[in-house]
């Protein structure tokens, strides 16, 4: 696929037309307040993985609604003092997988926590282990339209709340330094990262790669690739509901979270990315509130973005922060 979105010079100036709800902050304050009525109950069970250079813990904590959410905490084997903490969120359809799939960040001398995504973990990788016990209105197969009838019912309200609680759980471990916490992820994980970057105070850095869940008005009409196409296929049956759907999605749009971003950020975008079109990524990047921000651009890549090159870029970049 050749370039299909705006030219790079226009991307650098592009701004989303997504309308921010007047009660955006109140909605999220109420949502997180309800979640915190449940004891976090973070539990760290040691796992015998056969890996000699790291220690791994099977983590369970209370997310949205007090529902149990899983994760892995991986530490350098010799860790004795609190370490900088990297909290990672995963791409669409994936789960936390197996511990040996997540060795990069502990290899840099940091504590690493990866959150399982509720209801996912059957699309790629080593699977997941977190159910989503909440039902909802009729939806198109996938996750993007689950509970789309109202903001309070929407699937990503639960996921974003889980992610905030995941940071709180990871920070509670005695070998994780809460004052040196980084959040990152790619695609769906990048969209979750944007939300956490706005909702969690005291982060030292944020790194969303080719983030999903951004600039819904443009994304859902620009690309016919899934997952964004799920919204169009839903509306093909639920005729006349476009305005209501976009209103629900506006409470979860990475552009509005970006406007509240309070930490240095490193984004990445790929100019041939049809899954998360570059204009939607730049919409979030251009809205990111913190002045210390940068974006890596991969001219001839699709949704793989920078792949291992972007991982190396993040390792270099994070040396200045945590």
Residue positions annotated with a catalytic role? 187, 273, 303
Q: How many Cα atoms occupy the beta-carbon half-sphere of 85 within 13 Å?
A: 25
The token pair at 85 is 């903490």
* Distance, CA of 179 to chain centre: 20
Q: Is 92 annotated as a binding residue?
A: yes
State the Cα–Cα distance between residues 42 and 286, nearest whole angstrom: 36
Omega cis (within 30) before 227: yes
Token pair listed for 215? 């600039």
Asked if the bond preceding 302 is cis, omega within 30° of 0, the reply is no
Contact 278, 296 (CB under 8 A): no
Contact 256, 293 (CB under 8 A): no
> Tokens representing 6?
């705006």
The alpha helices in 151-264, defined as continuous H runs, are: 155-171, 188-199, 216-222, 229-237, 242-250, 254-258
Residue 300 near residue 272 (C-beta atoms within 8 A):
yes
The Cα 300–Cα 171 span in angstroms is: 38
Which tokens is 255 given?
């552009």
- Check the CA dihedral 121-122-125-129 and report its sign: positive
Q: Which residues are annotated as a binding site for substrate?
A: 92
Q: Which residues are annotated as a binding site?
A: 92
């Amino acid at each position: 696929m050749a370039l299909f979105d705006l030219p790079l010079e226009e991307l650098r100036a592009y701004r989303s037309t997504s309308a921010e709800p007047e009660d955006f902050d109140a909605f999220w304050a109420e949502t997180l307040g309800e979640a915190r009525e449940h004891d976090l109950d973070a539990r760290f069970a040691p796992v015998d993985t056969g890996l000699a250079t790291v220690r791994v813990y099977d983590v369970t904590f209370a997310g949205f609604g007090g529902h149990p959410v899983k994760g892995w905490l991986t530490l350098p084997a010799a860790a004795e003092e609190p370490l900088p903490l990297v909290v990672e969120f995963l791409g669409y359809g994936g789960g936390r997988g197996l511990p040996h799939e997540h060795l990069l960040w502990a290899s840099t001398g940091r504590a690493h926590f990866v959150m399982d995504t509720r209801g996912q973990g059957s699309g790629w990788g080593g699977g997941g282990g977190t159910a989503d016990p909440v039902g909802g209105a009729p939806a198109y197969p996938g996750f993007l339209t689950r509970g789309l009838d109202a903001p309070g019912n929407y699937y990503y309200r639960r996921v974003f709340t889980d992610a905030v609680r995941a940071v709180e759980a990871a920070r509670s471990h005695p070998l994780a330094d809460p004052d040196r916490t980084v959040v990152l992820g790619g695609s769906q994980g990048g969209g979750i990262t944007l939300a956490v970057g706005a909702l969690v105070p005291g982060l030292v850095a944020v790194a969303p790669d080719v983030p999903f869940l951004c600039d819904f008005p443009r994304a859902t009409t620009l690309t016919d690739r899934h997952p964004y196409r799920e919204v169009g296929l839903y509306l093909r049956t639920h005729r006349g509901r476009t305005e209501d759907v976009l209103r629900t999605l506006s409470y979860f749009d990475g552009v509005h979270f970006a406007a509240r971003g309070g930490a240095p950020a490193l984004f990445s975008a790929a100019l041939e990315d049809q899954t998360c079109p570059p204009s939607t990524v730049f919409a979030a990047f251009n809205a990111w509130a913190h002045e210390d921000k940068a974006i890596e651009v991969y001219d001839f890549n699709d949704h793989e973005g920078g792949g291992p090159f972007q991982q190396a870029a993040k390792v270099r970049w994070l040396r200045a922060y945590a």
